[in-house]
Structure 1
Amino acid sequence: MSASVLPPTSGVLLAAGAGTRLGLGPKALLPFRDRTLVEVLADVLLEGGCSEVLVVLGAEAGRVAALPGLSRHRTVENPRWHEGMGGSFRAGISGAAAGNNVMVALVDQPGLNRETVARLLQQHHPERITAAAYRDLSGTLRRGHPLVIDAALREQVAGSAAGDAGARHFLKAHPGLVDLVDCGDLADGGDVDTKANLHLLG
């Protein structure tokens, strides 16, 4: 099947967490490029080639949803966000347009850019999962985010999400379905998890 007949891809941006470890409030609201992290990354997904962007909210959902930069995107609230990423992951997958592939991205990765999004979309194959990968200090390619979940696998992957795990359980159980795409020349895949990582917002 050629890339031209693949279904569109919905971007799902997981932005529900409270940022407890960072201690500065929800990461979605962190200042970034004269806006907020969630606004910038939602636009990155759209500009990189996603047909729509669905932002999953939780902590301070009302405040995040009111951001002007999210007016062009859809939002869905996960009322049980505090139970872990799994619920937000399921909400994002189920809320994406029916029949679409889904690209799942994390709001705490400021290095995500449209080139990475475009590369993943271009290299995705039917009935597969395509994951951005980055090399660790030893040079080994390690799976990271974003990842593209084929429409044919959406239900299975969402059903495996639990607790603080999104696609992790499914990916470990079905490694043969996962294609790693080296994106290390475009980004480092780093996330803003603690204050030591705040330089990534610079």
Structure 2
Amino acid sequence: MPILILAAGASSRMRGADKLLLDVDGVPLLRRQARMAMEVSTDVRIALPPRPHPRYDLVRDLDVQTIEVADASQGMSASLRTLFATLEPEQSHAMVLLGDLPDLSDDDLRAVMSATTQYPDALIWRGATQTGKGGHPMVVAHPLFDEFQTLEGDSGGHSIIANHKGAVHLVPLKGNRARQDLDTPEDWAAWRAGRSTSGAPR
């Protein structure tokens, strides 16, 4: 199953820093996400901003496809449109993975993938918090690929999810990892402090 990583955003709330270049367990976050995806799939495609950009250097030596999003400034929908346009007609499913969820593990990705066979009547399978709030990763079935290629704005796939809410299956993952994105320096500081308290690597 292809894994589509969204990593073309501008990190606009980081006040000059690039969150995908920041260190997580000794590895830049984007490289960590790419390597995690490679543990699960041999087909990893990463949406990146227009070249030149330092994010390309983080994954240059990895066996992944880097997909340049020419209109990345238009928001997340531009990345989704671009990535879904690369999928071959024979693909039955594709996983969407945000580049900035540092607590996800390869086991989480496998759990959401496995749900596609356990609950085959759904069209969307989403990682969720233990309290039932939908997040990522998210697997999309082929009948919805065209809808993702026509998205507009920066709301990501929320409109598609809403239109097909009866065909969404949630897969609870540990804690808040399905939604734990880090958008500001304060988010990063709080996250690192929490990991330090729990004894996890920072």
Alpha-carbon deviation of 1:112? 1.3
Q: In the alignment, which residue of structure 2 is the partner of 1:13? A: 5
Between the aligned partners of 1:93 and 1:85, the Cα distance in structure 2 is 12
Between the aligned partners of 2:148 and 2:168, the Cα distance in structure 1 is 12
- Native 8 Å contact 2:4 2:97 kept in 1: yes
- State the TM-score, normalizing by the size of structure 1: 0.84
Between the aligned partners of 2:4 and 2:29, the Cα distance in structure 1 is 14
Specify the code of the residue in structure 2 equivalent to 1:131: R
Aligned counterpart for 2:35 among listed residues 43, 46, 50: 43
Which stretches in structure 1 are left out of the alignment for 5+ residues?
1-8
Between the aligned partners of 2:87 and 2:18, the Cα distance in structure 1 is 23
Q: In the alignment, which residue of structure 2 is the partner of 1:6? A: none
Specify the code of the residue in structure 2 equivalent to 1:178: V
Between the aligned partners of 1:192 and 1:185, the Cα distance in structure 2 is 15
Alpha-carbon deviation of 1:22? 1.6
Moved over 6 A (4+): none
State the aligned residue count: 188
Q: Give me the CA root mean square deviation.
A: 2.1
SS of equivalent to 1:67: helix
Q: In the alignment, which residue of structure 2 is the partner of 1:27? A: 19
- Native 8 Å contact 2:126 2:134 kept in 1: yes
Where do 1:106-185 residues align within 5 Å? Answer: 106-124=98-116, 125=120, 128-135=123-130, 139=131, 141-159=132-150, 161-184=151-174
Residues 61 and 183 of structure 1: CA distance in aligned 2, closer, same or farther (over 3 Å):
farther
Aligned counterpart for 2:65 among listed residues 66, 70, 74: 74
Percent of paired sites with the same residue: 24
Residues 89 and 191 of structure 1: CA distance in aligned 2, closer, same or farther (over 3 Å):
same
Alpha-carbon deviation of 1:21? 0.6
- Native 8 Å contact 1:133 1:183 kept in 2: yes
Between the aligned partners of 1:99 and 1:126, the Cα distance in structure 2 is 19
- Native 8 Å contact 1:134 1:182 kept in 2: yes
- Native 8 Å contact 2:8 2:69 kept in 1: yes
Between the aligned partners of 2:61 and 2:98, the Cα distance in structure 1 is 16
Alpha-carbon deviation of 1:172? 0.6
Which stretches in structure 2 are left out of the alignment for 5+ residues?
193-201
- State the TM-score, normalizing by the size of structure 2: 0.84
Where do 1:68-107 residues align within 5 Å? Answer: 68=59, 71-100=62-91, 101-107=93-99
Alpha-carbon deviation of 1:188? 5.2
